Amino acid sequence: MIDIKLLRKNINTIASILLTRNFFLDVNEFHKIELERKKIQLYTENLRNKRKKISHKIGQMKGTINNKDIITSMTEKVIKIGNDLKSSSEKLKKIQLKLNKFILSIPNLPHKTTPIGLKESDNLELRKISNPPILNFVAKDHVDLGIELGLDLDSAIQITSARFSVLKGDIASLHRALTQFMLNTHINDHGYTECYIPYIVNENSLYGTGQLPKFEEDLFIVKRGGENENKVNEKLLYLIPTSEVPLLNLFRNKIICFDMLPIKLTAYSPCFRSESKSYGSDTRGIIRQHQFDKVEIVQIVNPDDSYHVLEEMLEHVENILKKLGLVYRIITLCTGQIGFSAAKTFDIEVWLPGQNIYREISSISNCEDFQARRLKSRFRKNKEKKQEMVHTLNGSGLAVGRTLVALLENFQRKDGSVDIPSVLHPYMNGVTSLKKITNKKYIF
């Protein structure tokens, strides 16, 4: 959330910066809401002060004189002021909610090193790790490969709907192996603490990390059954779009001890997104699904360290890809392409020979104090220092399904088999390659 002090101090400058994100900040609407808030707030405070003075005077009169009529008249005034105060306080509450709603709709300010631009073509390539390998045969994409290896999209449609998948046999084991390998690497090599987290969260959690109200149409709402079904005031629950949400909400309304920073967390979870705006080639196979698995890495840090940590997290994700032997490049996203809560974002794109293209496999973002202000996550260096907002960073370390796609396409052989990288062999119970399924027990 944008600091309201910045809006009040220099809203025109902020509006100009946000235009580089393709976001129009309605300056006139802000001034209108603020003017109304100030007017109601001043009136409310005057009523409180007036009631306090009269009440104090009544107390003094009761102890010094016996004038029942004057005290009765003044008491009636206090009652009337109290009624007016109640009405005014309700108006103030409503206008403050309106102001809060306005502020919650504003995205984060981009960092000064984020390239200015609106389109994908305005992103900058930071570096490329080696060149794509040249295959001596026509490469297949992961769908054509996967169908003969245990990828079953038709059954998923029958069970649920389009854009879900079923994996059978060794390809399912490879998916699980990737998850375990990623977690172990982040825990043992990079120093993250593993967490098991809820896959269902409340509205406050999603407001805290910035998914609400902006991305409501991309979320899956959980409908409760039984006695709760008809409760009008029942709070909504949502399936998580990423484990970043529950991980960061562990620190909602918390003052963190300075000595605890940095806090480094990782979690595996399924993620659920409606992906309402995706179409075409994005929806083929398991590139962009309603349910997918991801290993998330999150850091909560001292603001002085956050951009150093951003580079560190990028190295952590690169380490996974290097161990797997995948070709990738790093992109610095421009102002119009970074996420709602981000100030700066690196995308890592992996080479997919079956599609002859680089595709995003991870995003690593520094959100600075944007999420922390919404979450009220603070720290204090010592008892004498005032509270400060922490900085929060998150990254995919990695998206498991997309990593599986990359392995299928990059390590395919002419006969349709797929070699499994050696770092994954310990997780595969002796299986070193995926082969076409011929065993009838997997054909169902």
pLDDT of 50-91, one tens digit each? 888 887 787 777 766 567 777 778 888 888 888 989 999 999
Whether the per-residue pLDDT at 401 is higher than 70: the answer is yes
Using alpha carbons, select from 342, 266, 346 the residue that is nearest to residue 298.
266
- 377 pLDDT band, cuts 50/70/90, is very high
Annotated ligand binding at 157? The verdict is no
For 360, phi then psi, to 5°, come to -60, 135
What residue ranges do the domains of the chain occupy? Answer: 26-105, 120-442
Q: Is 296 annotated as a binding residue?
A: yes
Examine the pLDDT at 230 and tell me if it is beyond 70: no
Annotated binding residue 394: yes
Residue 385, token pair as written in the block? 């220092």
The answer to whether 361 is annotated as binding is yes
CATH top class, domain 120-442: alpha beta
Q: Judge whether 45 is annotated as a binding position.
A: no
284/377 Cα distance (integer angstroms): 40
Cα distance between residue 309 and residue 321, in whole Å: 19
Contact 406, 352 (CB under 8 A): yes
Q: Is 319 annotated as a binding residue?
A: no
* Pick from 390, 399, 396: nearest CA to 263: 390
Amino acid at 239: L
Helix (H) or strand (E) holding 379: strand 378-380
Beta carbons of 328 and 351 less than 8 angstroms apart: yes
Q: Which among 186, 338, 319, 288 is positioned nearest to 247, based on CA atoms?
A: 186
With left for phi above 0 and alpha for psi between -120 and 50, is residue 363 left, alpha or beta? beta
Judge whether 362 is annotated as a binding position: yes
Query: Which residues contact residue 374 at a Cβ distance below 8 angstroms, ignoring those fewer than 6 apart?
Result: 1, 104, 207, 208, 209, 210
315 — phi, psi (to 5°)?
-65, -35
What integer best gives the mean pLDDT of the chain? Answer: 92
Q: With bands split at pLDDT 50, 70 and 90, how would you rate the model's confidence at 231?
A: low
Q: Is 173 annotated as a binding residue?
A: no
Is 242 part of any known ligand binding site?
yes
Q: Is residue 363 part of an annotated ligand binding site?
A: yes
Q: Is 155 annotated as a binding residue?
A: no
Greater pLDDT, 187 or 51: 187
Model confidence at 366, in pLDDT bands (50, 70, 90)? very high
List, for residues 323-346, the tens digit of each pLDDT value: 999 999 999 999 999 999 999 999
Contact 436, 417 (CB under 8 A): yes
Percent of the chain exceeding pLDDT 90 equals 80
The response to whether 120 counts as a known ligand-binding position is no
pLDDT at 52: 85
- Two tokens, residue 11: 């809203």
